[in-house]
């Protein structure tokens, strides 16, 4: 089984333009993500998929591999699929967000765990316990609720579930990493965008709305994402980045 890891990285982020090139310590963020991804021994190839020459040149400057992709993709998964089509030998494709400089081999191994154990779900993602006191009503923190077999029931930026009673409910923070079988990834990009996907701005809802299952693997802790200038400041608290 061959596994292709793709890091989608676009230049024009609304909240932090040029985000992949933002320096974290002495290195641009995209280099941190790339190097963290390369630590996973199960990936046969690691490629940055970008829409901008500046990001491609940056990746090549530290001897990484980058490919230019169409500028009109509506989400990162479509950008990943474009690269996957160039590698027909890849059985599993992993989508690693370009704004997660703290990604580790252990986290990525957990994401692909089903495939390493001869299971072939269409799609796998990660979640961790939600800090309900801080993040339950935060629309920038995506929530996921699951079935008893750990398949996603719904993802939302809203506060879900609604607590009509004082009983606790299993709600998790979604972490934006995905793994797909090649067959399903190429099927996903042919599916029509869906109302809930567009309403919430969450690409994974397209799969659920079309009736496909998403397996959710639960890990212990969140992964810090960089979305705003304030997030960049917070990275200074991470002692590993100097």
Tokens 């890849």 correspond to 90
Secondary structure in 3-state letters for the chain: CCEEEEEEECCCCCCCCCHHHCEECCEEHHHHHHHHHHCCCCCCEEEEEECCHHHHHHHHHCCCCEEECCCCCCCHHHHHHHHHCCCCCCCEEEEECCCCCCCCHHHHHHHCHHHHCCCCCCEEEEEEECCHHHHCCCCCCCEEEECCCCEEEEEECCCCCCCCCCCCCCEEEEEEEEEEEHHHHHHHCCCCCCHHHHHHCCCCHHHHHCCCCCEEEECCCCCCCCCCHHHHHHHHHCCCCC
pTM: 0.93
Separation in Å, CA 200 to CA 37, 85, 87, 110, 170 = 28, 28, 31, 27, 21
Token pair, residue 32, equals 């941190």
172 φ, ψ (degrees, to nearest 5)? -125, 160
Topology of the domain comprising 3-237: Spore Coat Polysaccharide Biosynthesis Protein SpsA; Chain A (3.90.550)
Q: Is 164 exposed, middle or buried (0-12, 13-18, 19+ CB in 10 A)?
A: exposed
The pLDDT, as a whole number, for residue 237 is 62
Q: What pLDDT sits at residue 240? A: 55
Sketch the domain layout of the chain as residue ranges: 3-237
Along the 242 residues of the chain, how does pLDDT read in single tens digits?
999 999 999 998 777 788 899 998 889 999 999 999 999 999 999 999 999 999 999 999 999 999 999 988 989 999 999 999 999 999 999 999 999 999 999 999 999 999 999 999 999 999 999 999 999 999 989 999 999 999 999 999 999 999 999 888 899 999 999 999 999 999 999 999 999 999 999 999 999 999 999 999 999 999 888 877 778 777 766 655 54
């Amino acid at each position: 089984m061959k596994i292709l890891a793709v890091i989608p990285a676009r230049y024009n982020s609304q909240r932090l333009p040029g985000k992949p090139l933002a320096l974290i310590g002495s290195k641009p963020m995209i280099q941190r993500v790339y190097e963290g991804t390369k630590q996973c021994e199960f990936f046969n190839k690691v490629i940055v998929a970008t829409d901008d020459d500046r990001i491609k040149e940056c990746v090549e400057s530290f001897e990484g591999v980058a490919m230019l992709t169409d500028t009109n993709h509506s989400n990162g998964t479509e950008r990943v699929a474009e690269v996957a089509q160039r590698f027909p030998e890849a059985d599993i494709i992993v989508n690693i967000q370009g704004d997660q400089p703290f990604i580790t081999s252990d986290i990525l191994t957990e994401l692909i765990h089903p495939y390493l154990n001869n299971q072939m779900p269409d799609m796998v993602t990660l979640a961790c316990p939600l800090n309900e006191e801080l993040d339950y009503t935060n629309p920038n923190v995506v929530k996921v609720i699951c079935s008893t077999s750990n398949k996603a029931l719904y993802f939302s930026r809203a506060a879900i579930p609604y607590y009509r009673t004082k009983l606790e409910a299993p709600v998790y923070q979604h972490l934006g990493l995905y793994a797909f079988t090649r067959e399903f990834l190429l099927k996903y990009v042919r599916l029509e965008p869906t109302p809930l996907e567009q309403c919430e701005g969450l690409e994974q809802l397209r799969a659920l709305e079309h009736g496909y299952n998403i397996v959710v693997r639960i890990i212990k802790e969140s992964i810090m994402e960089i979305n705003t200038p304030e997030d960049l400041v917070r990275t200074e608290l991470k002692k590993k980045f100097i």
